[in-house]
Amino acid sequence: MEASGKSFEPETIKVMIGVNNTVRWINPDYIAHWIGADDQSDPEFYNATGGEQGSKLIAPGDFFEYTFTRAGEFGYHGKPSMRGTVIVVESEK
């Protein structure tokens, strides 16, 4: 995922637990960007992105990485109006 300009690219990504469930948000821009979970549907993701403090800063040229361990649809946002979604599905057995 890239955070540049006014949007996350791609806006939606689908991952599978145990296969490709680590997502990396990269900031290729020359200014800092923020990321914050929309809610506490995945408490660990919520806390990793700033929790009650708001959002996590991704400096220019830096990245933020998170490994999802529960299935669901998890929204996140940046500032001022950047939005994205990670869809996490159970592994196929």
pLDDT digits (tens, 9 = 90+) for 41-90: 999 999 999 988 878 999 999 999 999 999 999 999 997 778 999 999 99
Is pLDDT larger for residue 28 or for residue 7?
28
Name the residue range of residue 78's domain: 2-89
Q: Environment class of residue 10 by beta-carbon count within 10 Å: exposed (0-12), middle (13-18) or buried (19+)?
A: exposed
As a whole number, mean pLDDT of residues 21-39 equals 93
Residue 76 tokens read as: 């996140």
Query: With 80 as the cut, is the pLDDT of residue 7 above it?
Result: no
Q: In which residue are the tokens 């296969």 written?
A: 19
- The DSSP element (H or E) to which 46 belongs, if any, is helix 43-48
Q: What are phi and psi of 57, to 5 degrees?
A: -85, 135
Q: What is the CATH number of the domain that holds 17?
A: 2.60.40.420
Structural domains of the chain, count = 1
Confidence (pLDDT) at 2: 53
CA pair distance 2, 9, nearest whole angstrom: 5
Residues 38-47 have pLDDT tens digits of 999 999 999 9
